[in-house]
Amino acid sequence: MGCATLVPMAKHTSPVTLTDKKRESVLRDLDAHRMTAVQAAQSLGITERQVWRLLAAFRQEGAEAVIHGNRGRTPQQTLPPEMQQRILELAQTTYVGFNQTHFTEKLQNVEKIKVSRPTVWRILQDAGIKSPQRHRRPKHRSRRDRRPRAGMLLQIDGSDHDWLERRGPHLTLLGAIGATGEVVAALFRREEDAHGSMLLLQRIVLEHGIPLALYADGHSIFVRPPADKETIDEQLAGQREPTQVGRLLNDLGIEMITALSPQAKGRIERLWGTFQDRLVSELRLAGICTLEAAHRFLSSYLPTHNAHFALSPADADSAYRPVPAKLDLSVIFSFQYSRIVANDNTVRVGASMLQIPANGERSSYAKAKTLFCVGLDGSTFVLHNGRRIAYMPSKDPTADIRAAKR
């Protein structure tokens, strides 16, 4: 029996394929008893039951039976053209610069367009719109196990980046992230400094408790640079004076671990990559252009970020320690300087000077050893044997505080 030429049905728009011709040839051989059903199934890569079904349709409809019934039809799941155009418009206007996963989330949560990320990828890819996120070739790393309890180890760092994309001042974002990926605290600063690091640590202690250890780079905020010359007092004592933040960590009993490379701080480095992508886009979307507005936005953004990215700890018990009742946090979180009281009962640090008023404890503090403290709000006070003997409120609580020479 000769082979007939296939004529597609009117509903089919695609050309007849080689697979169609092969199916027709096999079915004709099977119908003419030149091939068994088992051989036909093996040749077509389908089950014997499917072979008998195709043969029955072939005997009834002829060559058209080998063409799939959905050939040339638009799938039910295909988005309408107007919906695809709407997605393209949003990608190039409201959400320009968003990566495709972030953009898909915005479509679902804000625009109420229920669409999958692969679909968004296909629509943008067909339009020639590439993801702004660059993917680097992965490097081989040895994985460290996560700490099982929250508060056992926090990674802390700063990211100098154009967070407001020239709509406002150039800012640095300080942040701390736990082993579970939870961002426990973050704040914007003009630059990475000791004052900002103290404010960040203060927020962590007040909101969560005292962590066991801190993992940071060898920034001079945390450790004294080796190039710093030792003072005579340090040489006599046989140890170097800590930095202001280093002293704070010692007072709170927080172990300081210094990272020797950016890769060692992989978790927080990845966080910066995520923030420089997602947070920058969110700040742009909200029209943030000032430091104060960025602070307010960040406080509302972090819970959403943590709900999306943070994992549950392996051990539900927290390793954060409560603040001891006898610990005065206003003293702990301050810049401290050892000073000798002058003959006129004044204490000076740089341009700051405090007059110690007369009190019933003693008539004069001249030559007494004291501790001159500058609080994080800019207030100044003097301690003698742990007792405050002088105090001056801050003239500008929002001003940045710089560490003075000891």
pLDDT per residue over 288-346, tens digit each? 999 999 999 999 999 999 999 998 888 888 899 999 999 999 999 999 999 999 999 99
Q: Give me the residue spans of the domains in the chain.
A: 1-73, 81-126, 154-228+240-309, 330-392
For residue 368, pLDDT over 50 is answered with yes
Segment 167-186 shows an average pLDDT of 94
User: What is the reported pLDDT for 2?
Assistant: 40
Segment 205-229 shows an average pLDDT of 87
Yes or no: domain 154-228+240-309 corresponds to CATH 1.10.10.410:
no
Q: What percent of the chain has pLDDT over 70?
A: 84
The string of DSSP letters for 218-253 reads: --TTTS--TTSPPPHHHHHHTSPPPPHHHHHHHHHT
- Is residue 98 within 8 Å of residue 119, measured between CB atoms? no
For 51-77, how does the pLDDT look when each residue is reduced to its tens digit (9 = 90+)?
Answer: 888 888 888 877 776 666 555 565 556
Identify which has the larger pLDDT, 371 or 363.
Answer: 371
The interaxial angle of helices 100-109 and 81-92, nearest 10 deg, is: 120
> At CA 288, angle to CA 282 and CA 293, rounded to 5?
115
Give the type of residue at 86: R
For residue 232, pLDDT over 80 is answered with no
- Is residue 133 within 8 Å of residue 99, measured between CB atoms? yes
d(CA 211, CA 154) in angstroms, rounded, equals: 7
User: What is the reported pLDDT for 17?
Assistant: 55
